[in-house]
Amino acid sequence: MSFEMDYSRDFSARILEFVRGKGKVLIVAHDNPDPDSLAAAFALRHMLEVNANIDATIAFGGIIGRGENRAMVKELEIKTVQFEDLDLDQYKVVCMVDTQPGTGNNSFPSDRDVHIVIDHHPLRDRTRKCKLYDVREGYGAAATILYEYLLGQEVYVGTKLATILFYAIKSETQDLGREWTEYDRAAYLNLLQLSNNRILYNIAHAQVPREYFSSYNRAIENARLYGSVMVFNLYEIDNPDVVADMADFLLRMEGIDVVLGMGRYKGKAVLSLRISSHDILAGPLLRSVVGDLGTAGGHGMTAGAQIDPMNGNLAVLRELETSLTRRLLKELDRPVEKGKRLVL
């Protein structure tokens, strides 16, 4: 723990030194942000406010889709804006959290400079050109890195901030069940004691719209089994997060170790991959499956991809499912066979 804490203290001090006196600061989260992305952005904003007297803006593309995430933003009064509502020329410092330049999962214009990157996804070449970057691939959550900064800078962590960070680590690592380190565990345990249980309950048990149940229905109805691999297609969706949600849900099936899900949101195909085996790495696997069709990235057990533009009708989406399934089975060295329905 000590080495990482020393590093966090030094690095956060360098961030503060860099931003002081530069002007307006923009913090970019990834599109359709999840709790980890929002918590990391919120914590960075708080640190800049307390230690540098800077009122930074948090922005992202897409929407906050999942019921739990919407509840988090509402309960904890997290203020965010969309890129469309901003004059980007005004911002003199741009920070990215939980994402990196050119990954395809953020809508920040790729021809603009990014100065600071804080992330836990694999380091990208473009990130190396940024002024300051702290990319810790092993960490379970970006929120853990930001929590270390707050400790390093001796920033008081109040209930609201603690609850946001705790929920981020909880959901990102599935309660320390998926891809976590001792640092995530230490942060999780510290933050648990500072969090508000009523708010946590309201977030975790958030109500969901009626359409959510049709997504379950469609995911189950359209799921096909190829040995221990499951593929499902939601076709047209009105919330991009639902693909990852259904992939997590379907991975619970006995005998299944790979789930690939897809759907189309605003003309883009949204893909989500979930792996329960430690012998397969989700990020690199999805990158090879998607190839030059789109952009993909991820960790060991989870990955996401976008294929843009994904024009066309139902038949085109079905064709995409067929070709991606074939590529997935080939990459995994599994026989390319006809899929069996999950439910009859």
Whether residue 62 contacts residue 31, with contact meaning beta carbons closer than 8 Å, is answered with: yes
Whether residue 26 contacts residue 131, with contact meaning beta carbons closer than 8 Å, is answered with: no
| CA–CA dist 121, 105 (Å, integer) | 12
Q: Does 31 bind Mn ion (CB under 5 A)?
A: no
> Any idea what DSSP says for residue 30?
P
Helix, strand or coil for residue 126? helix
Span near Mn ion by CB under 5 A; candidates 24-32, 79-87, 96-104, 310-318: 96-104
- The closest alpha carbon to 171, from 204, 195, 139, belongs to 204
| Of 41 and 293, CB closest to Mn ion | 41
| Of 68 and 98, CB closest to Mn ion | 98
Applying CB under 5 A, the site for Mn ion has a residue count of 3
Task: Please calculate the CA angle 275-278-279 and round it to the nearest 5 degrees.
Answer: 100
Question: Among positive and negative, which fits the CA dihedral 63, 69, 70, 75?
Answer: negative
> Would you state the structure tokens that stand for residue 73, as one six-digit string?
């933003």
Contact code string over 132-151 relative to Mn ion, x by CB under 5 A: ----------x---------
Least Å distance, CB 97 to Mn ion, is: 9
Least Å distance, CB 120 to Mn ion, is: 6
> Would you state the structure tokens that stand for residue 312, as one six-digit string?
């066309």
| Of 98 and 257, CB closest to Mn ion | 98
Least Å distance, CB 111 to Mn ion, is: 25
Q: Which of 4, 31, 36, 134 binds Mn ion (CB under 5 A)?
A: 36
Span near Mn ion by CB under 5 A; candidates 17-25, 90-98, 276-284, 333-341: 90-98
Least Å distance, CB 307 to Mn ion, is: 22
Q: Does 245 bind Mn ion (CB under 5 A)?
A: no
| CA–CA dist 268, 61 (Å, integer) | 13
Span near Mn ion by CB under 5 A; candidates 23-31, 97-105, 213-221, 232-240: 97-105
With CB atoms as reference, the residue minimizing the distance to Mn ion is 36
| CA–CA dist 28, 58 (Å, integer) | 6
Least Å distance, CB 99 to Mn ion, is: 8
Helix (H) or strand (E) holding 42: helix 35-52
| Of 142 and 146, CB closest to Mn ion | 142
Whether residue 310 contacts residue 320, with contact meaning beta carbons closer than 8 Å, is answered with: yes
Token pair 């009064």 in the structure block, residue: 77
> Length of the chain, please?
344
Binding to Mn ion (CB under 5 A) within 66-85 occurs at none
**Residue ranges of the alpha helices (H) in 195-333?**
197-204, 211-222, 242-250, 282-290, 314-331
Span near Mn ion by CB under 5 A; candidates 35-43, 53-61, 202-210, 267-275: 35-43
Q: Does 179 bind Mn ion (CB under 5 A)?
A: no
| Of 57 and 99, CB closest to Mn ion | 99
Q: Does 4 bind Mn ion (CB under 5 A)?
A: no
| Of 36 and 321, CB closest to Mn ion | 36
| Of 51 and 106, CB closest to Mn ion | 106
Q: Are strands 91-97 and 81-82 parallel, antiparallel or unpaired?
A: unpaired
Whether residue 57 contacts residue 24, with contact meaning beta carbons closer than 8 Å, is answered with: yes
Q: Which of 31, 68, 98, 179 binds Mn ion (CB under 5 A)?
A: 98
| Of 4 and 98, CB closest to Mn ion | 98
| Of 31 and 36, CB closest to Mn ion | 36
Give the contacts of 327 (CB within 8 A, at least 6 positions apart): 288, 289, 291
Span near Mn ion by CB under 5 A; candidates 28-36, 125-133, 206-214, 231-239: 28-36
Whether residue 223 contacts residue 341, with contact meaning beta carbons closer than 8 Å, is answered with: yes
Contact footprint for Mn ion (CB under 5 A): 36, 98, 142
